[in-house]
Amino acid sequence: MRKYIVEFVGTFFFVFTIGMAVLKPNSAGDFAPLAIGAALMVMIYAGGHISGGHYNPAVTLGVFLRGRCPIGDVPFYMIAQVLGAILAAILVPIAKGSSTVDPKALTLLPTLLAEFLFTFALVWVVLNVATSKATQNNSYYGLAIGFTVMVGAFAVGAVSGGAFNPAVVIGISVMRLAAWQNIWIYFLAQFGAAVAASFLFKFTNPDDR
């Protein structure tokens, strides 16, 4: 149970930070990706020793396919992550006060490409720094993962919104930063990237079981 609580709490604070940093008024502006990456980093350091610090259904899928997350934990991790994101999305507008939001307009292929590539990068980094025998017990795993999200947000935030996380997509949809009808684009790219990253990890690390 404590693993699921950690996943809920970590995802909540991550998505709450996203909303507070992005939603106007008083957004973090150009510094929003830095705040978002840092929030993920500190939550991973806080909860990584208990749950693995996934805070992302795509990461959970990738870690499961890699063989480091029991199948029985997968649905409960994902439920905890989504519930944390929804609660954060409900509380952000209360903390921000009234605001007018226009959902981001997306173009299909650039969004698919951006979300696939950087979700792939995120899951790839997680598998290599947080699950690999060659890097076990390192002290930099949270920094590497948080910086991957920061880099992706800076690089393609203007293209896709820089979600790289199905729970985040649900959260930003609740906050009306993204349109619900576009959710399939994110899910297709993100879960597809998780599958690709896990299989490439196993191919490049055949002795790491």
The pLDDT tens digits for 162-190 are 999 999 999 999 999 999 999 999 999 99
The token duo for 26 is 């008083």
* Distances 106 to 19, 138, 150, 161, 199 between C-alpha atoms, Å: 19, 38, 20, 9, 29
pLDDT interval class at 99 (50, 70, 90) = low
DSSP the chain: -HHHHHHHHHHHHHHHHHHHHHSSSS--GGGHHHHHHHHHHHHHHHHHHHH----SHHHHHHHHHHT-S-TTTHHHHHHHHHHHHHHHHHHHHHHH-S----PPP--HHHHHHHHHHHHHHHHHHHHHHHS-GGGTT-S-HHHHHHHHHHHHHHHHHHHH-S--SHHHHHHHHHTTSS-GGGHHHHHHHHHHHHHHHHHHHHHH-TT--
pLDDT interval class at 96 (50, 70, 90) = confident
- Kindly state the average pLDDT of the residues 78-85: 98
Average pLDDT of the chain to the nearest whole number: 95
Structural domain boundaries of the chain? Answer: 2-204
- Kindly state the average pLDDT of the residues 96-104: 76
- Kindly state the average pLDDT of the residues 105-122: 96
pLDDT interval class at 27 (50, 70, 90) = confident
pLDDT score, position 26: 81
pTM for the full model? 0.96
Q: CATH says 2-204 is which class?
A: mainly alpha
